[in-house]
Copies of this chain bind each other. A is one copy, B any other.
Amino acid sequence: MKQALENPNLISLAAGFTDTPSLPVRKVQQAVDNLLGDPPQTEVLQYGTNAGRPGLRKALADRLSFADHCPEPRDPEEVLVTNGSQQALFLALSTLCDPGDIVLVESPTYFVFLENARALGLEVRSLPDTDDPEQLFQQTVTLLEDLQAKGTMARVKALYLVSYFSNPSSASRSEAEKEALAKALASCHCYPSILEDAAYRDLYYQKPWPARSILSLEAFAAFPCLYLGTTTKPFATGLKIGALHCPHQEWREKILHLKGNEDFGTANFAQAILEEVLTKGAYEDQVRKLRSLYQEKANILHHALKEVGLAKDGWHWKQPEGGLYLWLQGPSGFDASPDSPFFQKAIEEGVLFVPGSLCMASDHRKQNTVRLSFGSTSRENLKVGARRFAKAWQRLT
């Protein structure tokens, strides 16, 4: 296995990287020239503040106002700039939870969140795996009643949603689904903090996902809410600028305090570059370009999987409408977990994927699922990767 992993021709459909050739080289160079050319804005090379550049915070607040069709612009004070949305997640969780606390997640969910929860000693419980609002409400109430019966409901500190072109499932949540969750919680008098991770919201292919964020939904008015955005995937991963929007002042101040201890604020220069491209239009140009690029890549992978005949063997998937991932479900009872013969055979065939079970909490692990990424893989390798994946499957059956 180790040898197979070191195969230089291994095609990775596992990495969460973005497409390298389309990174915005000229746009960043131009932004740097604007900042450092004559007369230079020398202060961009000086320390910034812990919360982030006011101009960047305003630009990010405005983007969210626009996406959510807010009648009033959102307050830039709610926005804190972070080292990618990863740091935002870490800060948010660290300020909320003590070891032994419970967090509720979707199934599947972002696997790094599960890892962070584990590192913090948290218990993770899975929300019902359904997109029907009524069932979501009922089954969430059942889950909460179960926690209530066990006397652990007071330990539920957070609910985490990846609700726009999710990593890993590429699914999005309707407003009705989000509201069903809020109502289920409220009906059980359970008011945890709600974290909405919108890392892929900008990366829709044809049209924005129509649901507004939790910050704009009345149903969440009684909950401490936090919305996570990032400019890494839609612009440049190497600049690593994320942001959190947290209208809840007390929570936000705790996060800011912890960020002060951790690093005193995100690199001012990278922030200034983002502020420049966001306010001058280069960001929007770039994300438009990426939307068609990733749509094309998603389609290539989708068609390649169809061509190799997986569908008639009982595999299911939905063609993504945004994001960087394609989520596969194998036949019921099939095992694609890291220790499975299938995973091993795939590596022998020269293709790597993320076993979907890694994206699920221990109470709800479906071993027959697979996450395929198409962000960084070339068009040709997406086709070859799909063929290798199918070959590994055929060798098993």
Q: Give me the interface of A with B, judged by CB distance under 8 Å.
A: 17-18, 20-21, 23-26, 28-29, 32-33, 36-37, 40, 42-48, 83-84, 86-87, 90, 112, 115-116, 119, 232, 236-241, 257-258, 261-270, 272
Interface centre among A33, A48, A238, A264 (most CB of B within 10 A): A238
Closest CB in chain B relative to A356 CB, distance in Å: 21
Q: Is the CB of A23 within 8 A of B42?
A: yes
| Docked complex Cα distance between A82 and B97 (Å) | 25
Contacts known (A25-B45, A84-B263); A269 close to B239, Cβ less than 8 A:
yes
Residue in chain B with minimal CB distance to A272: B238
Q: Which of A17, A116, A267 has its CB near the most chain B CB atoms (within 10 A)?
A: A267
By beta carbon, the residue of chain B nearest A29 is B36
Contact A237 B87 (CB under 8 A): no
Contact of A44 among B43, B84, B238 (CB under 8 A): B238
Q: A18-B46, A45-B238, A237-B45 are in contact. Are A90 and B263 (CB under 8 A)?
A: yes
Residues of B contacting A269 in the complex (Cβ-Cβ under 8 angstroms) = 28, 236, 238-240, 270
Contacts of A23 in B (CB 8 A): 42, 45-46
Name the distance in Å between A170's Cβ and chain B's nearest Cβ: 20
Give how many copies assemble into the complex. 2
Contacts of A264 in B (CB 8 A): 84, 86, 112
Decide if A20 touches B42 in the complex (CB within 8 Å).
yes
Docked CA distance A83–B336 (Å): 37
Known: A36-B25, A261-B115. A17 touches B47 (CB 8 A): yes
CB-CB < 8 A to A29: which residues of B? 32-33, 36-37
Residues of B within 8 A of A237 (CB): 45-47, 268
**CA gap between A154 and B393 in the complex, in Å:** 56
Name the B residues within 8 Å of A268 (CB-CB).
237-238, 240
Kindly identify which residue among B33, B37, B83 contacts A266, using a CB–CB cutoff of 8 Å.
Answer: B83
CA distance A268 to B36 in the complex (A): 20
Contact between B86 and A262 (Cβ–Cβ < 8 Å)? Answer: yes
User: What are 28 A-B contacts with C-beta separation under 8 Å?
Assistant: A18-B47, A23-B42, A23-B46, A25-B40, A28-B32, A28-B36, A29-B36, A32-B32, A32-B36, A43-B238, A45-B239, A46-B237, A48-B238, A83-B262, A83-B263, A84-B263, A86-B263, A86-B264, A87-B262, A90-B261, A90-B262, A115-B261, A119-B258, A237-B268, A238-B269, A240-B269, A267-B267, A269-B270
Contacts of A262 in B (CB 8 A): 83, 86-87, 90, 262
- CB of A45 within 8 A of CB of B17, answer no
With known contacts A33-B29, A238-B269, A267-B270, A261–B46 Cβ distance under 8 A:
no
Q: Once the chains bind, are B17 and A46 in contact (CB under 8 Å)? A: yes
Nearest CB on B from A347, distance (A): 21
Q: A20-B42, A23-B46, A25-B40 are in contact. List 10 more A-B contacts (CB 8 A).
A: A17-B47, A25-B45, A29-B32, A29-B37, A47-B238, A84-B263, A86-B263, A112-B264, A240-B263, A267-B270
| A45 CB contacts on chain B under 8 angstroms | 23-25, 28, 236-239
| Shortest distance between the CB of A263 and any CB in chain B (Å) | 4
A18 — which chain B residues lie within 8 A by C-beta? 46-47
Q: How far is the CB of A232 from chain B (nearest CB, A)?
A: 8
Chain B residues closer than 8 Å to A33, beta-carbon distance: 29
Nearest CB to that of A38 among chain B residues?
B25
Give chain B residues whose Cβ lies under 8 Å from the Cβ of A26.
36
Closest-CB distance, A349 to chain B (whole angstroms): 26
A155 to B26, CA, bound (A): 54
* A87 surroundings in chain B (CB, below 8 A): 262-263
Measured CA separation A87–B17 after assembly (Å): 24
When chains A and B are docked, how far (Å) is the Cα of A270 from the Cα of B238?
Answer: 8
